[in-house]
């Protein structure tokens, strides 16, 4: 096998590994996205409810519930 063929195989293997990592990540992210409460896309940002709650751990301001 030539050096060029070896490099090509390494690039293909790296691409396959990245695709596998992406697929594994999507297994976790996909269901989480489905659980998000989405505001109607027609609502302008000024119509969103105020962020009134504060995280007791990191003090981040967040929406209620």
- Could you give the number of structural domains in the chain? 1
What global pTM score does this model have?
0.41
Q: What is the pLDDT of residue 41?
A: 59
User: Which is more confidently placed, 40 or 32?
Assistant: 32
- Which structural domain range is residue 9 located in? 3-40+47-62
The upper half-sphere exposure of residue 20, i.e. CA atoms within 13 Å in the direction of its Cβ, equals 6
Query: Mean pLDDT lowest for which of 26-30, 52-56, 57-61?
Result: 26-30
How many angstroms separate the Cα of 53 from the Cα of each of 21, 33, 47, 57? 35, 22, 17, 12
SS3 22: helix
Q: Are 26 and 33 in contact (CB under 8 A)?
A: no
- Residue 8: CB atoms within 10 A of its CB come to 12
């Amino acid at each position: 096998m030539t050096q060029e063929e070896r490099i090509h195989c390494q690039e293909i293997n790296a691409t396959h590994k990245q695709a596998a990592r992406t697929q594994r990540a999507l297994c976790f992210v996909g269901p989480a996205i489905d659980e998000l409460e989405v505001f109607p896309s027609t609502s302008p940002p000024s119509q969103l409810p105020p962020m009134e709650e504060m995280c007791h751990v990191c003090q981040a301001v967040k929406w209620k519930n």
